Structure 1
Amino acid sequence: MTSRSTSSSFPRLTAAVAASLVGLLATGCGGGEADDRSTGAASGSATGTAAGSATRTTPPTTGGSVAPSPSGSAGGPVTAGDCAREKAAGLTEEQSLGQLMMVAFDTAAPRTALDGLIAERHVGNVIYLGGWDGAARVKEASTHLQEQATDTATAGIPLLLAADQEGGEVRQLRGAGFTAPPSAKVQAQMSSPELTAAATTWARELRAVGVNVNLAPVTDTVPAEIGRANEPIGKFGRQYGSDPGTVTKASTAFLRGMIDGGVMGTVKHFPGLGRVERNTDFNTTGITDTVATKDDPFLAPFAAGVKAGAGLVMVSSARYPGLDPTKTQAMFSKPIISGLLRGQMGYDGVVVTDDVNAKAVRSIPAAQRAVDYVEAGGDILLTGDPESVGPMVDALAARALADEDFATLVDTSVLRVLALKERMGLLRCP
């Protein structure tokens, strides 16, 4: 990558990068209390990625569904098939970097608000924020967004269209056409089959409007003695419980329902926000977990969620001195992402930030946030500020041009994202 011009296509990945990813993408973290289970896609969805490229007779218009995990184990590795590797090799530098962006589409913005970013900055992923009212409006927006994923903009690769649809107070999609899921604490009172069935219905509602990723379930554990004093999770009843076993049981049941309904799920906020005092979205202090270590039992729900088929892990912007003595925030911490999550826990799927525009990290220039995150081992940068996309993309491109090792990290992240899209049936290859 150090010799690329900005208009050239990426060469095929090096043998080392390709070999390391072919058998280990998207899932592969064992442990936890979830049972092995094959997770099927919704009826009529695209299939097949474990052994090769995904196939479709026509490209998806509002987002693909979740293809089944490899036969026999929902937690086994998902192969980066020929289609993902072919697509990665054919992207221009700008198109590749765009696959690492997830940009907010605010409900108050005009329908065409992100058209320029998708066309000019090749943004490959979008998140609905601000509280969208009515299924018809969301479906219209999703269709319009996917229409922007042209050959020139994204090499024809459809967008991940995400929403926070946890339940309770955290529901970005509301009104006609959307069920109001109860809070996680209430969901946890349901039996696993009941919760999976309910989540399948909620997922089908999302899929019907073109949303193909739910940034849920929450897999943070909030100790009973902290409870509502925990601002980001406990205050709003977003936790499934106060012990890892309860959180594991309910969150994996929810996750399976999402996948069965054709929507990819996400476990968050790694390595856990259950012990911090303040909300990282609005604070720079009170965001340190002084208890977490590499043997923390609160990591179990994350491991179980990955084993159950989660395609993404969202990493927090809190600090964990027991995991990284430098007190670097988790999304910029190599010991936490590359060491704990990818190394110790064996996860080699997509890692996405919590909002990289949150107050907890806003004092760091956007360009530096992007470089530090990818250098730590992360993939998709989720930003609530569309104006931050340009500086982040430019910084990644400049660093990759100057540093071959960093360029390899970028290539690896892009392939992870495309492998996830292949798994979801979003890629179309001859």
Structure 2
Amino acid sequence: MSKRLEQHIELGSTHDFSLKQKVGQLFMIAVFINDSEENIQQTENLIQEHHIGALCFFHSRASAATNFEGKKKVVYNENSYERLVSLIKRYQKASSIPLLIAMDAEWGLAMRIENTHQYPYALTLGALQNGEDLIHDVGYKIGLDCLEAGIHWNLAPVLDINSNPENPVIGYRSFGDDKEQVTKKAKAFIAGMREAGVLNSLKHFPGHGDTNTDSHLALPVIDKSAENLLENECYPFTVLMHEEADSIMIGHLSIPALDSSGKPATLSKIILSDVLRKKMGYQGLLISDAMNMHAVSKRFEEKGALELAAFHAGLDMFCFSEHPKEAIEKIVLQGEGQRIESSFERVWELKEKAFNQPSNIVKTGIAPNELNKEIARACLTELFKGTKNKMPGSSQGLQHIILGKPTTNIFPEYLEQKLKIKTSSVGDMTSEEIQDLIHFQKTTVISVFPPSVKPKNRFGFAEEELEILNETLKKGNCILYLFGNPFLIHTLPLNKQNSYIILYQDFLEFQEAARSHFEGKLLPQGKLPFQLKTDINEK
């Protein structure tokens, strides 16, 4: 436990905090691991002068959290982890009140930091059948990694039910489209983090899964009945909020059935106070999604007005506040006293929970790469077995094509170098070779490595590349291995004359699982974590 926090608790001196100190505790500002010294000193001054309560770490000012259109280039820094650890210590030293340190570490610190353990995406975990023990271990390992770095609060897991394959921002971050499975898997993940001693945040209430709008860029509208929302989108939150939740993150979502004004949930007193607090009975901490996101940040010209409106709506903490100085001043002057006290108490309760965790971190259990290996073997999913292409007993007469550029080449090299299967990269093929590929009558093995995990711009593929892939699949007699986001399947022709093997990730362990499957040593055990919405060619 932090001695400074312990002193405040023992002396009961939170009662002596000024109103400005209490309001400052409601703010979580964004800090950047690869910031300049000038920026770091500005952050230290902000913490000291305005009594900031929490920090949320991001990679850099060019990362996705601030670079929505992707116009800035992210600079790789192999020392980001060491930098993170040193900055946490430096900022804690600068603060007179211990800071809550947060991060989005949905699949580990690797979500923000180079050279750290990366675990599978939630959608990959969604493919596991009876895999709650493995999911618990993922949550536990991520929790330990967070604690070791000095992070108390992992803003995870995602409870959104991803029922829209065109969702630009959730997709692979969701456990799937089945509310029961999402709830069960999220509960296991939370249990693992809790065992490690890390706080969680269930996000993004009331549910960001059924939209094709990215709230970083615009305001999504979820046009469903209140009954439908409460029975489906809200279901995981309803089940988990009372026992498992340390906090709930509110999404910037317009829900006309709940608030006909069209206000985002983060600014809606009806949704936060009437629905979530009174009707659903949640009394814990409510934190906003990032306040710099265009779904809300473009609604107010005056600095601090956004946070004041969110406070009046019922939020307790403001994540990524861009104007904390002005916002704190406004809430001090215009905020109702009892509301400030209630929000402050919720924040302080989280701090007590975070700083009361055991200080000695004991790393136990399976190693991260072995855990990934077990998950890879258990999640491998097969769509159709094909009628012509039972797994070949010999590599003779096969051809292999690669779509995308894998960072690890375990599976392609195995086919080309060990099995001596003729291998070509689609991007390097001549027009004549493409025609030969499309008309090839024997079995074609296809390794697909999507350049992007997000569906924008065809998952990063050129239109011509996907046209070649589609023509090849239409002829049948193909075995496709997909090392990436399985929602790509919705852009491909589904032909029962083919086999579609979904691996979900391109990690070494997942490519090794593909090799075992190709050799006939591994049977598919996973299940696609969403319903197919593509016509299937039965012929």
TM above 0.5:
yes
Say whether residues 1:99 and 2:39 are aligned partners. no
Q: Distance in 2 between matches of 1:351 and 1:422?
A: 17
Write out per-residue CA displacement over residues 359-385 of structure 1, whole angstroms, 9 at most, x where no aligned residue: 111221342211211111110011263
Write out per-residue CA displacement over residues 221-254 of structure 1, whole angstroms, 9 at most, x where no aligned residue: 011xx21x112212xx111010111110111111
Q: Distance in 1 between matches of 2:208 and 2:148?
A: 32
Structure 1 104/308 Cα, relative in aligned 2: closer, same or farther at 3 Å?
A: same
Quote how far apart the aligned CAs of 1:85 are: 10
Say whether residues 1:300 and 2:215 are aligned partners. no
The alignment of Structure 1 onto Structure 2 pairs a total of residues equal to 330
Q: 1:135 aligns with which of 78, 81, 90?
A: 81
Q: Which residue of 2 aligns with 1:358?
A: 293
Write out per-residue CA displacement over residues 101-156 of structure 1, whole angstroms, 9 at most, x where no aligned residue: 00000233234341011111111100001368543221111111111222xxxxxx
Structure 1 128/222 Cα, relative in aligned 2: closer, same or farther at 3 Å?
A: same
SS of equivalent to 2:297? coil
Q: Which amino acid aligns with 1:244?
A: K
Q: 1:192 aligns with which of 129, 132, 146?
A: 132
Contact 2:33 2:83 in 1 (8 A): no
Contact 2:2 2:98 in 1 (8 A): no
Q: Which amino acid aligns with 1:128?
A: F
Contact 1:142 1:210 in 2 (8 A): yes
Q: Which residue of 2 aligns with 1:247?
A: 182
Structure 1 331/149 Cα, relative in aligned 2: closer, same or farther at 3 Å?
A: same
Say whether residues 1:217 and 2:157 are aligned partners. yes
Structure 1 171/273 Cα, relative in aligned 2: closer, same or farther at 3 Å?
A: farther
Q: Which residue of 2 aligns with 1:323?
A: 258
Structure 2 length as normaliser, TM-score? 0.58
Q: Distance in 2 between matches of 1:420 and 1:91?
A: 17
Q: What is the aligned-residue identity percentage? A: 25
Q: Which residue of 2 aligns with 1:78?
A: none
Structure having the higher helix fraction is 2
Q: Which residue of 2 aligns with 1:31?
A: none
Q: Which residue of 2 aligns with 1:40?
A: none
Write out per-residue CA displacement over residues 310-343 of structure 1, whole angstroms, 9 at most, x where no aligned residue: 2110001110001111111100111111111111
Contact 2:107 2:142 in 1 (8 A): no
SS of equivalent to 2:57? strand
The 5 Å alignment of 1:3-402 reads: 56=1, 58-59=3-4, 83=9, 86-110=12-36, 111-130=40-59, 134-150=80-96, 157-167=97-107, 171-176=110-115, 178-190=116-128, 191-223=131-163, 226-227=164-165, 229-234=166-171, 237-284=172-219, 287-293=220-226, 295-363=230-298, 364=300, 365-383=302-320, 385=322, 388-400=323-335
- Which segment drifts farther, 275-284 or 311-320? 275-284
- Which segment drifts farther, 87-96 or 319-328? 87-96
Contact 1:134 1:173 in 2 (8 A): no
Calculate the aligned-residue CA RMSD, in Å: 2.4
SS of equivalent to 1:174? coil
Write out per-residue CA displacement over residues 176-222 of structure 1, whole angstroms, 9 at most, x where no aligned residue: 3x210111111223411111112111110110010000111000001
Contact 1:149 1:159 in 2 (8 A): yes
Q: Which amino acid aligns with 1:142?
A: I
Q: Distance in 2 between matches of 1:366 and 1:171?
A: 33
Contact 2:59 2:113 in 1 (8 A): no
Write out per-residue CA displacement over residues 366-407 of structure 1, whole angstroms, 9 at most, x where no aligned residue: 42211211111110011263xx1111111111203xxxxx22
Which entry has the higher C-alpha Rg, 1 or 2?
2
SS of equivalent to 2:160? coil
Runs of 5+ consecutive residues of structure 2 not aligned to the other structure: 61-76, 358-539
Q: Which amino acid aligns with 2:147?
A: R
Q: Which residue of 1 aligns with 2:519?
A: none
Q: Distance in 1 between matches of 2:154 and 2:332?
A: 29
Structure 1 140/358 Cα, relative in aligned 2: closer, same or farther at 3 Å?
A: same
Q: Which residue of 1 aligns with 2:343?
A: 413
SS of equivalent to 2:249? strand
Quote how far apart the aligned CAs of 1:345 are: 1.4
Q: Distance in 1 between matches of 2:294 and 2:145?
A: 32
Runs of 5+ consecutive residues of structure 1 not aligned to the other structure: 1-55, 65-81, 151-156, 401-405
Structure 1 308/186 Cα, relative in aligned 2: closer, same or farther at 3 Å?
A: farther
Q: Distance in 2 between matches of 1:238 and 1:210?
A: 24
Q: Which amino acid aligns with 1:348?
A: Q
Q: Distance in 1 between matches of 2:121 and 2:42?
A: 32
Write out per-residue CA displacement over residues 82-106 of structure 1, whole angstroms, 9 at most, x where no aligned residue: 9499343121122111101000002
Structure 1 372/263 Cα, relative in aligned 2: closer, same or farther at 3 Å?
A: same
Q: Which amino acid aligns with 2:305?
A: Q
Q: Which residue of 1 aligns with 2:372?
A: none
Contact 1:353 1:381 in 2 (8 A): yes
SS of equivalent to 2:275? helix
Structure 1 length as normaliser, TM-score? 0.72
Q: Distance in 2 between matches of 1:174 and 1:112?
A: 22
Q: Distance in 1 between matches of 2:260 and 2:329?
A: 30
- Which segment drifts farther, 344-353 or 85-94? 85-94
